[in-house]
Amino acid sequence: MSEAIQPLLEVDNLSRRFGPQLAVDGVSLAVQPGEILGVIGPNGSGKSTLFNCMLGQLAPSAGEVRLSGRKITTMGAADRCHQGMARTFQLLQTFPGLTVAQNLRVAAQEHQGSMLSRLLRGGWGGTERAVQRSLAFFKLEHLAHERAEALSYGQQKLLDIAMALIVEPRILFLDEPAGGVTPQMIAQLKALLLAANRERGVSLVLVEHNMDFVMSICTRIVVLAAGRILAQGTPQQILHNPTVIEAYLGG
Ligand code: ADP
Ligand code: MG
């Protein structure tokens, strides 16, 4: 008796117009629980616009977004966050003058306040436990009392992701997580994202230009071109898709 699995996130025929231009043009996709979905495509193909529409930072011109079957198309970004959707930005969102531990505390408390302690039961103690767990998971314990600005860029990137994950989202959106990060740190980043995915069951959706990174971490890839889905499939299918090679990977 197989039961159809409810997709975690669904995007249905979504479009977003900027004046005369359709930045996203009738995109439909679903993110399954536990999946790691990569969104790739040339500059200007609509990746960020699609991301922002899924996260409630931009209103779609047409179409629908559903979280666990529930329509959230007009729900604001903050409410989506409370429903378990978290994101990182291309630019770091860490507080440079605060220590690593303080940054994590702020991220945890921001959520806690608005959740009226529902997620992080037990007030301050709950926050501190979450901070300690996060420091251990991201292997940042030895840097707990360093200011964020004293960390390497790669370490700050890890902290940024740790801050997004501390509220235990169901789905995490990452905008170019490997951008500007050294190869060594990319390997660590990959291992931590895979561990978060496997151990905590968090689904990941990432926009990324580093093809090695995308191909090695994603379970499925969607290729955008001019606001539309050009192809989707496993990394192997995408790497060998003639249309994708011609339009995007070829050069
Ligand atoms: P990508 O992230 O794939 O590089 P974007 O989603 O940023 O692509 O952009 C898709 C298209 O929409 C581009 O042609 C871009 O110029 C346009 N666009 C994006 N954001 C805006 C905006 N706020 N106002 C006008 N045009 C925009
Ligand atoms: Mg972009």
4-46 confidence digits (pLDDT tens): 789 999 999 999 999 999 999 999 999 999 999 999 999 999 9
Q: Say yes or no: 77 and 191 in one domain.
A: yes
CATH number of 208's domain: 3.40.50.300
Q: Say yes or no: 152 and 248 in one domain.
A: no
- Tell me the ligand closest to 20's alpha carbon: 1
Q: Whose CA is nearest to atom 14 of ligand 1?
A: 44
pLDDT of residue 249: 74
- Tell me the ligand closest to 225's alpha carbon: 1
Counted domains in the chain = 2
Q: Say yes or no: 164 and 175 in one domain.
A: no
Residue that is last in its domain, among 133, 168, 203: 168
Q: Say yes or no: 156 and 119 in one domain.
A: yes
Domain that holds residue 233: 1-84+171-251
Residues 71-112 pLDDT 10s: 999 999 989 988 999 998 777 889 999 999 999 999 988 765
CA–centroid distance, residue 75 to ligand 2 (Å)? 22
Residue 89 in domain: no
Question: Among 150, 201, 213, which Cα is nearest to 176's?
Answer: 213
Q: Say yes or no: 178 and 160 in one domain.
A: no
Angle between helices 123-137 and 183-200 (to 10 degrees): 130
Residue that is last in its domain, among 168, 197, 217: 168
**Does 198 score more than 50 pLDDT?**
yes
CA–centroid distance, residue 225 to ligand 2 (Å)? 12
Task: Specify the ligand 1 atom closest to the Cα of 207.
Answer: 2
Q: Which residues surround ligand 2, an ion (CB under 5 A)?
A: 47-48
pLDDT of residue 166: 93
Q: Whose CA is nearest to atom 25 of ligand 1?
A: 18
The predicted model scores a pTM of 0.91
